[in-house]
Amino acid sequence: MAAGAAALLAVSFQAHSWEWGGLIRLLSQIAFLILLFVVISRIAAARGVHPVGHRLRLLGAGVFSTVVAMIAGWFWTVPQTHDTSWVVTTAVAVIAVVPLLLIGGQLVMRGSR
C-alpha cells in the first residue's frame, strides 16, 4: 500500500512535465483506488489483532504523509510547470511513506514470530 502511495505521489508531482501527464495521472489514481479497495477488503479479516498503540502510530504516519503530500503538492502540482528533477520529487514521495512502511514492517515482523 505504501509503495502504491509513493508511486501515486511521484506521478502526481511530475505529471505536469509530461506530454500525456493528465492521462497518466488519471490512470495512476484509478490504479491506486483499486489497490486501496483490495487492501481494505483484505484488512477486514485482521481487524482487532494489532498491538497496543498501533492505531496512534498509524494516525501519526498518515498525518505525516498527508502533510508532506500537501506541501509538495503545493509547490509541484499547483504551478503549471516546475524545474525540479524527477529524482527529487520521487525521493520526497518515498520519504512521505517511510513511516507507513516502517509500521507495516513492524506488523510483518511481529506476525512472523
Distance (Å, whole) CA 47 – CA 3? 21
pLDDT, tens digit (0-9, with 9 covering 90-100), for 46-74: 666 677 777 788 888 888 888 888 888 77
Q: Does the pLDDT of residue 113 top 70, yes or no?
A: no
Calpha distance 90→85 (Å, rounded): 9
For 68, residues 6+ apart whose C-beta sits below 8 A from its C-beta are 92, 95, 96
Q: What's the whole-model pTM score?
A: 0.63
pLDDT at 91 over 70: yes
Residue 10 C-alpha from the chain's centroid: 9
Number of folded domains that form the chain: 1
Amino acid at 21: G
Cell 506476525, residue?
111
pLDDT in tens, 10-26: 888 778 777 877 778 77
Which sign does the torsion angle of CA 42, 45, 47, 50 carry?
Answer: negative
Give the range of the structural domain holding residue 74, as residue numbers without chain letter: 2-112
Tell me the average pLDDT across 23-33: 78
How much is the pLDDT for 63? 85
Mean pLDDT of 27-34: 78
